[in-house]
Amino acid sequence: MEKIKITKSETSKSKPTTDQLEFGRVFTDHMFIMDYSTEKGWHDPRIIPYQPLTLDPASIIFHYGQTVFEGLKAYLTPDEKVKLFRPEKNMKRLNRSNDRLCIPAIDETLALEAITTLVGLDKDWVPSAEGTSLYIRPFVIATEPYLGVAPSQNYQFIIILSPVGAYYKEGINPVKIAVENKFVRAVSGGTGEAKTAGNYASSLKAQELVADKGYAQVLWLDGVEKKYVEEVGSMNVFFKIDGEVITPALNGSILEGVTRSSVIDLLKHWNYPVSERRISMEEVFEAAKNGKLEEAFGSGTAAVISPIGELSWHGKNIEVNGGRTGKVAKQLYTTLTGIQTGKQADPFNWTINIE
Amino acid sequence: MEKIKITKSETSKSKPTTDQLEFGRVFTDHMFIMDYSTEKGWHDPRIIPYQPLTLDPASIIFHYGQTVFEGLKAYLTPDEKVKLFRPEKNMKRLNRSNDRLCIPAIDETLALEAITTLVGLDKDWVPSAEGTSLYIRPFVIATEPYLGVAPSQNYQFIIILSPVGAYYKEGINPVKIAVENKFVRAVSGGTGEAKTAGNYASSLKAQELVADKGYAQVLWLDGVEKKYVEEVGSMNVFFKIDGEVITPALNGSILEGVTRSSVIDLLKHWNYPVSERRISMEEVFEAAKNGKLEEAFGSGTAAVISPIGELSWHGKNIEVNGGRTGKVAKQLYTTLTGIQTGKQADPFNWTINIE
Ligand SMILES: Cc1ncc(COP(=O)(O)O)c(C=O)c1O
Ligand SMILES: Cc1ncc(COP(=O)(O)O)c(C=O)c1O
């Protein structure tokens, strides 16, 4: 494994105060870069001062979107240690995304070492207030200057860090979600399973239209029949119906969330009935009608758990659990954030400490 | 309309010779850039020496693929004039793509003036040999440094130029095409209608797998039933069955090609039966079996007309027109390239001259 070369920044930028913290607007003092060429493979892993990228305007990333990314967080524990939550799962997913996008695989051990070294160097940027964290964004871009539609011969793997505020400024809070009937995010055989730019580009329009009507996010249905639940914005989704917790099965068009899999593990650990299967919007609305829809919530790195208080579909609205956060959502949120920040025991060994 | 500011390059790069010409590898001396900000709108249109872009690594283009592009060509006439082919159609499509991707519209007159001014300045780069041309690549990228999934507040509209070689080195030549049954390029409700990066990123894997088996391109089927013909790589597709020319109707997931619409216009002008409708792979193979599949060809800016000599679908192969270029394909190719290069009359006023 090639050694990571470190060039330290000569100055340090001023850090945002707790109430200045937003999501993804401010970046730390350093970044990680590694290059790829067909001749040399991945090479020259290095940490340098945070700085602009200089790219030929013909670079494939600008034209054909050959790119993948990841998203995870570093958390400060009460005794000022820095923890990562299941980062090896993100590195695995990065390589699954790479494979779908014809990008050469990255050594997962090196990628993880890049993250821990970079976060270690910018440790002072990990915010300490309740609910805050340091967001980590690894991404790969195709840099060959070539307008043919073909996999690039050159890439850069980059990691940047951003201190982020609490997702819920006033504690965990249910959101309103609109079920999307026109636009489609992904379809089986497409790129929905991969964490790649095009999926998000495709979602902007739908998101913009519902935001105008006061909804926080759209809930995507399958692209084929527009019947079955897929996921929400940048979260996987769960419904508690008649005592059972249900989440859509991984069908090729849904992102396999790290939080999703942790939620499933926790529920099983607690002996809650949980199933991964196909679930239609019809079933959800029918359950609501019969008083059996007990909870609905999203899961993802940004919000951890995001309770859904209202769902709108074809002009009909249902309120979930009286618009309040449900018991299971609450318990999952407390446990996951507890483990992530080292405030609770970590029975699954999900976290690692950064020196 | 804001005036385009020109900063000329002090040196001129050496130009490729005819046999060095490829597609999209070499770029001219200048490029066009215009900026967008929410406060100022599109502003500061300028031509500058061809140079790298400098972008914050958090720029939205690198993460969420908010980007669109166009592709058209400038042709040298026998009397050394430079012509564009229906560029106003590309500018209209650019804005339709912009709309789908939540990118602010660009003044089409200004965009066209940017192209003519830039091509005029780099006129010496338009190659003269048969089948060669200057490829024009306008594109828009989202430049705001922000990791939230939301439309960018800043963009750049850029135009670069690349002298390109003849698509068919030894004259127009039929290609082998594999019908794709697993991967999907686009689905109704997605971004297939727009010329945006994600569609092409999604296609790389399928393309790579068939290339290994000796096929030039994949033919995409609809994402819902995987039954109906959509398009080929970066071309629309036509079948001549029992005297009628058929091309898939614009259904929301197919790109509306400028060449496609010119082919339809020419066929109508010649009183050929032509129809835009849904056509299944079943129908194409059935026609082949009954000896009624007379021709198949793709249409697009790069190749103009690309005859299909063989189609493979679910392990079955059909040869089209004995693997030779059909009469209609040939006539379309000759007429379109004739009009584009000013060697034939232009009865539809499709071309414009650049001063
Ligand atoms: C489309 C999509 N689905 C689901 C998720 C949740 O995944 P994770 O729990 O790994 O953050 C994300 C965010 O990463 C996402 O972008
Ligand atoms: C997906 C796709 N379909 C069709 C076409 C053909 O369009 P046009 O004739 O405008 O070049 C292109 C190329 O531009 C394309 O990228």
User: Are B220 and B185 contacting, i.e. CB atoms less than 8 angstroms apart?
Assistant: yes
Alpha helices in B122-272 (DSSP H): 197-211, 258-269
Structure tokens at A298: 């999203």
- Rounded mean pLDDT for each run of 10 residues along chain A, 355 residues in total: 96 95 96 98 98 98 98 97 98 98 98 98 96 97 97 98 85 90 94 97 96 93 96 96 98 97 98 98 97 97 95 95 96 97 97 94
What integer pLDDT is reported at residue A167 of this predicted model?
77
Structure tokens at A178: 């609109």
Q: Does B265 touch chain A (CB under 8 A)?
A: no
Query: Going by DSSP bridges, is the β-strand pair A304-313/A175-179 parallel, antiparallel, or unpaired?
Result: parallel
Query: Does ipTM come in above 0.95?
Result: yes
> Which positions in chain B touch A66 (Cβ < 8 Å)?
201, 204
> Mean of the pLDDT values across residues B338-346?
97
Structure tokens at A5: 């070369």
Cβ–Cβ below 8 Å for A24 and B191: no
> Which positions in chain A touch B160 (Cβ < 8 Å)?
57-58
| Cα–Cα distance measured from residue A289 to residue B97, given in angstroms and rounded to the nearest whole number | 41
CATH topology classification for B175-340: D-amino Acid Aminotransferase; Chain A, domain 2 (3.20.10)
First to last CA, chain A: 20
Give CB contacts under 8 A, 24+ apart, made by B285-293.
B285/B311, B285/B313, B285/B316, B285/B318, B287/B239, B287/B241, B287/B242, B288/B318, B288/B320, B292/B241, B292/B242, B293/B239, B293/B240, B293/B241, B293/B318, B293/B320
Cβ–Cβ below 8 Å for A63 and B197: yes
Segment B47-71, tens digit of pLDDT? 999 999 999 999 999 999 999 999 9
What integer pLDDT is reported at residue A170 of this predicted model?
65
How many CB pairs below 8 Å do chains A and B form together? 209
What integer pLDDT is reported at residue B170 of this predicted model?
65
User: Which B residues, 92 through 151, put their C-beta within 8 Å of a C-beta on chain A?
Assistant: 100-102, 135, 137, 139, 141, 145-151
Residues 6+ apart with CB under 8 A from A106: A34, A42, A91, A94, A95, A98, A140, A157
B243 burial type by CB count under 10 A (0-12 exposed, 13-18 middle, 19+ buried)? exposed
- Whether residue B105 has pLDDT greater than 80: yes
Crossing angle of the two packed helices B87-100 and B258-269, in degrees rounded to 10: 130
Domain with CATH 3.30.470.10 in chain B: 5-164
Distance A85 CA to ligand 1 centre (A): 14
Alpha helices in B37-160 (DSSP H): 60-64, 87-100, 108-121
φ/ψ (deg, to 5) at A239: -125, 140
Give A337's DSSP letter.
H
**Share in percent of chain B as helix, strand, coil (round to 5):** 25, 30, 40
What integer pLDDT is reported at residue A331 of this predicted model?
97
Domain with CATH 3.20.10.10 in chain B: 175-340
Cβ–Cβ below 8 Å for A197 and B63: yes
Nearest-CA neighbor of B215 among B223, B227, B206, B224?
B206
First to last CA, chain B: 20
Pick the residue whose CA is nearest to atom 4 on ligand 2: B235
- Asked whether the CA dihedral A194, A200, A205, A210 is positive or negative, the reply is positive
> Which positions in chain A touch B145 (Cβ < 8 Å)?
25, 27
Nearest-CA neighbor of B263 among B337, B156, B177, B172?
B337
Q: Note the CATH number of domain A5-164.
A: 3.30.470.10
Which stretch of DSSP H or E encloses residue A140? strand A133-142
Query: Going by DSSP bridges, is the β-strand pair A175-179/A154-164 parallel, antiparallel, or unpaired?
Result: unpaired
The three-state secondary structure class of B221 is: strand
Of B52, B69, B234, the CB nearest to A54: B52
Segment B286-318, tens digit of pLDDT? 999 999 999 999 999 999 999 999 999 999 999
Cβ–Cβ below 8 Å for B25 and A158: no
Structure tokens at A306: 């995001």
What integer pLDDT is reported at residue A221 of this predicted model?
97
> Mean of the pLDDT values across residues B119-143?
97
Nearest-CA neighbor of B301 among B254, B348, B263, B248?
B263
| Cα–Cα distance measured from residue B209 to residue B297, given in angstroms and rounded to the nearest whole number | 22
User: Are A248 and A276 contacting, i.e. CB atoms less than 8 angstroms apart?
Assistant: yes
| Cα–Cα distance measured from residue A131 to residue B259, given in angstroms and rounded to the nearest whole number | 55
Q: Taking the model in full, what pTM does it have?
A: 0.98
CA Rg value for chain B: 21
Distance B203 CA to ligand 1 centre (A): 23
Q: Does B184 touch chain A (CB under 8 A)?
A: yes
> CB count, 10 Å around CB of B289?
11
Nearest-CA neighbor of B203 among B189, B188, B182?
B182
The three-state secondary structure class of B305 is: strand
